[in-house]
Each structure stands twice: as structure tokens, then as C-alpha cells.
Structure 1
Amino acid sequence: MIRSKRSELSRYLRTETVGGSLLLVSAAIALIWANSTWSDAYTDLRDFQIGPSALHLNLTVGSWAQDGLLAVFFFVAGLELKRELVVGELAERKKAMLPIIAAVGGVVTPALIALAVGWGTPGIDRAWAIPVATDIAFALGVLALTGSRIPAGARVFLLSLAVVDDLLAIIIIATVFTASIALWWLLAAVACATVYAYAQHRRITTPLLYVPLALLTWYSVHEAGIHATLAGVALGLLTRVRTDPGEDEAPATRLEHRIQPWSAGLCVPIFALFASGVPLGGDVLGSLFTDRLTLAIMLGLLVGKILGIFGVSWTAVRLGIATKPSSLGFRDMFALSVLGAIGFTVSLLVAELALEGAEQEKAKAAVLLTSLAASLIGSALLLRRGRIHQARAERDQLDRAEPDRP
């Protein structure tokens, strides 16, 4: 009976609707808490240090959420990307080209717009990376809530786009926000990842090997000076996704089913709780539409993402470089491009890495406001497209039901 309840809870937490809802609730709690009379308690908890100092792991609670819990989230993202590349929609070159090209457009265009708007502003040399990422959990959650009548190809396109998008964002984090690299620790991380890949090749399944190996990889990446979430992506991409004869599930599928509920139900909401607590005083709100740095972030997300994703996708299809899913129209893809402007989790992470103090708080507020606007606009567009698709389906069903006339 207990096992059945746990299985049901895991299935419940595995849905995008619940993951997105938990993320939104955590962000709302953080905003209310950080702007209440108990704001000092929020700050004290976020900045409380815990962990063994001998191992250089006496981090704040907020840093543990950022470096540790998000590594689990990116491990799941790596599993999803590997599966799509090997056995999913991205395994076919022409089908793979569209979300990959769209993701590149959705990273480059926001960065260029942010740089153009904020050029010469202090902090823009690192803040340009804030609007480049799409939040997988939030975007898919909005799609699940408001796009249930949109063709199934919409989820595949958005998932593939968001996973590639976040992989590019992680590469930016690893290169732009790494001041110096400890070579020996980097080699240790590569060695651990190599052992992981070899164990996958040898079909070893025991967690007694993989759990310590994953922790060692994470620790080595952390000590190398690279953001530790990169360890999660690397191990996810090294996990086997093809099913062997006599095997019910491939390791990637099995791990995703086990870990994704923890990622959606615990890791991402806790990160959102400690990353979204932005004091929204009059100074912050008043400067959002006058400060060039925050304008660069907001326009980069809302305008850059839509132009980059939809514009590049439309061009690639028209030129024959890629093919779009037959069930999706360009208006459907435009609505999905708006959801691409939801830059919640990774954008908040980059804001914490790129800026400090008041500038960081304003950047986070800009990300939260823009992500909210994108989710509302995207929801309205998806609901409208859903009604059109439903009316079309009902009309086709009625036509098939009518008897042939002489």
C-alpha cells in the first residue's frame, strides 16, 4: 500500500503541470517572505553557512541550492537531451535541425539585444547572459496547463528547444563565469566521468558505484572552479539511452523516472525559494523601466527570445534547412516562442553569478516580471490556438460522420 502511494506521488510530481506549479508557488512564497516583516529571517536562512570547511564546502544554504540541487535538475535535463538525440525526435537530422537552430537563435538574439540596449552600462559585460535561457519546468508547465488542445508535437518542440537552450546556457556559465580553472581537479572530474561512461558501457547497474562516482564528479567540478551544475549535464549525456535485449528500460529512462520527481518536487522549488526572494521596494520597481541594465534584460528576454526562436525557425523552414512538425502551424510556433521567454531558473542563476548587491536584486526582479508577462501572453495565445485546433477537429469529425451524398 505504501509503495503504491509513493508510486502515485512520483507519477504526480512527474507531470509538467505540477512541476511548474510548485516552481511558481515557491517563487511566490519567496517574494512574499522577502518583502514581509520577516524578511530578515529569510535572509538569515539563505545566507546561513553549512558544510565541512576542510573540504571547502562550507557554503550558504542558497549556494547549496544553486550548486547542489540544480545539478540534479541539469542531470535530468542531460538525460532528456541524450534521449532525444539518440532515440527521440532529434535523432532524425531534419527534425533535429529545427529545435537546435531555434535554440541557437533563442540564445544569440537575446544576448545581442541585451548588449545593444545596455552597452556601456556597468555590469552588462556579464549581465548579457541573463536573458539567454528558457526555463524547462516553467515553460512546459504553462504548456500543460493552457495548451492541452495543441498538437502533441508542440511539447516535443518546446522540450527539445529548452533542453538545447539550457545546455548552451550551461556552456556560457562554464566559460564566462569561470575566473580560473584548477587543472588537476578538472582532470579528476574528467577521470570520474570517464569511469562513469565505462561503467555504462559495461552494463554495470549498482548504485553503490554510481552514487559515489556522481558525488566525486560534482565535487571535482566544484573544486576545479567551474559551476558544479556542469557535472549534472555531463553525467546525463554519458548515460545509456538504448534498451538492451531483455531489458525493460534503458538506464536513462529508469533514472529519469526515479530522479525527475525529486528534481520537480524538491530541487527546483527549493532553488526558486532562495533565488526569488527579491525585495520589491519602490526603488527597485521604479527603476525597472528606467535602468538600462534591467531594460536590457527584459527586452532581451521578451523581444529577443521571440524574435530569435520564431524568426530563426521560420527562416530555416522557408529555406528548407529544417522541417517543422506537420501538425504545428507557424502561429502555434509563435505561441511556443513566447513561452521560450520564460527565463526563470537558469536566468536567476546567471543573475546571481553575474551581478552583486542592488544590481543583482534589480536583475532578478526584471527576470521575474518578464517571465510572468511571457507566461500570461503565451497562455492567452495557446488558449486561442487550442480553440482553433478543437474547432477544426470537430469540423473534420463532423465531415467524416456525414453520409456520402449522391
Structure 2
Amino acid sequence: MKLPIYLDYNATTPVDPQVADSIEPYLHQHFGNPSSTHVYGRRAHEAVEQARQRVAELIGAQTTEIVFTGCATEANNLAIRGVARALRHKGRHLITSAVEHPSVAQPFSYLQQEGWKVTVIPVDGHGRVNPADVANALRDDTVLVSIMHANNEVGTIQPIEEIAAITRPRGIVLHTDAAQSMGKIPVFVNDLGVDLLTIAGHKFYATKGVGTLYVRKGTPIQPVLVGAGHEHGLRPGTENVPAIVGLGEAARLATERGANEMLHLREIRDTLHRQLAEAVPDLLLNGHPEQRLPNTLNLSFPNVDGRELLADAANDVAASVGSACHEEGEAVSGVLGAMGITPERARGAVRLSLGMQTTEEEIGQAAKALITVWQDSAKLR
């Protein structure tokens, strides 16, 4: 059976062959517990530490600031709930944005139910936070600001550096969820000025089930889970050595590929946009036209339902209308709603996210399939 062209890389990426090769020995030969002192344990421990070094190099951090987790959702929970718990006696006011991933939005909702005050910053029509709104929302008891680095649905990149310039002088902890950014754009923690940063392995060609939380040295944080003292005491549980090794290899490859991959992604994304726009009158781009991930194209097709469009094109194109982590059947994207996009425009939105393996030929085939389905739907109206 011929598989459709995969254009849902923001949902998950395939495991890079070099990542898969790096993992294999730690499934069979080097299977030891990294906390064990014998040779099997030492080899596993050394592999984990090498991966830690590679992740640190990717984001410009120290190895002691890298904490491996089971996923980005766990990392986000650890960052948000861990800092809130550590600073609960200093203040109980928290700030986030209206376009966060559920793994950020839900921990804030949980804390709100527990008595914390949460301010949700709006976004503009491009999905971008205004740093001035963050500054105006700060209070004497504000202890944490969490704003995502790049949006998973529309790709808009947030002005994290400008927000850090506001929070840092006041000693307020700043967290950013950079799950969608890794391997697509440069992400350096010191340039961003963040105290905490989340990484998801399966968003940049590692496996599912592994993530990282960068924790700047000196950041007040407490564990959410308790147990033995793994991962600097912040994430108990025996490390998932094969997945961590794979994450380290993915980080090495991202460091190596750098600007070349960004250029490739931007070129094929813009080619796809151009081909669709030439054939679909009134096609609208959702998200910032420039401050946007190079692989992400969120488009509103006129006079059609985005879900139905993709369902009709499913034999040729595998894509989505938004985040795979939102509830199935959600009528209108909360991100597009927060951007002030009309329900009619939001109804026709689809997210086309490209990856390293996407080719020019596939782009042409995908565009043709989507155009044909849209034109056929127009004939029925």
C-alpha cells in the first residue's frame, strides 16, 4: 500500500536512521542500570553522560543543567509546578500566554485550582505576545513566567529575549517550552535569557518517551515526583538509557546540520505555499509571516472545513488541523481563537508541517492533491 506524503512533522518526526543505530547497542549489549557500579552500569552511565553533553552543547548550557525526563509534558510540569512549589512562600502569582500547549496550560490550571493566581497574556493577530503586556502584568508576588518559544500550530516565534529582559532584573523565573524549536531554529539558553527550557525528543528525530528540562544553575525548583536521587534529584527513576542515547545523537545531528536544514525547510515550505496560493484564491496564512518556524505552514482554505479537506485528501497527504495533543473533535483551534481569527476562517485551517525528509517532488504532489480536493469541494457548493 502506498503511504500518503507525511506533512505532520510538528506532531512527531520519524526516528533518524543514525539515531536508531546509536540506540541499538543499549537495547542488548549495554543494557545495565546506569546507577550500578559494575561494568554494565558504568557503560550505561557513560552513555547517558555523553548524551547530556551533546544536549548541553546544542543549547549552550552546562551539562549539570540538563535533566532528562520521560517527555516534554513531564518537563513542563516539572518546570511549572516545581518552581511554584519552591517559591510558594515568596509569591503565588504566575504568568503564561493564551496560546500554550496543553502540557503548559493544564499545569497552570491545576495550580490555579490549588490557590495560585494566574494571568494569561493575550496574543496579537499573528499569535505573538507583546512583551509590554508581560511587563504590565507583573506583580510584587509574581514568581514565574512561562511563554512558549514557538507555537506548535501556527509556528509563530515569541520574543523570549525581550521578555527575559523584563523578568531577569526582577528575579522572576522564566520558562519556555521549546519543544517545537529544536532542530529548526537556533536555540541558545543564554541568548534567550531563560531559566528553564523544555525539549521533546520526538520533535527532532529522536524517539518518543524522552525529553529534557534545562534548569539554569541556581534556579529554585523542587521535584514533582519523589524517589531516589536520579537526575540531580529532580527526576527519580532509572534513566531510559536507549532513548536518552538517541536524544543525544539527535542533538549531535541538529548541531551538525544547523543552518542547512533551516534553509531547506524554509525553501520547501515557501514552495508549497506558493503553489497552493496560485491555485486557491483567498487562501490565508495564519501566524507571523516572518517570525515563524521555517517548516510550518498554517493555512485557511476558503469555504471548506479543514478536517473534511484533509479527510478527502487522506490517501495522498497526512496532515492535521492543529495540535495532535488537543482533544479529538475540537471544533475551532484555541490558538486561532486567541489570535482573533473568525470561526469561519478557523474552520478552514489546516497545518502543514514539513521535515528533513520532505522532498520537492513530494511538495508538488501534496499541493496537487490538496488543490484537487479543494476544487472538487468548490464544485459541490
Normalised by the length of structure 1, the TM-score is 0.28
Q: Which has the higher contact order (CA 8 A, sep 6+)?
A: 1
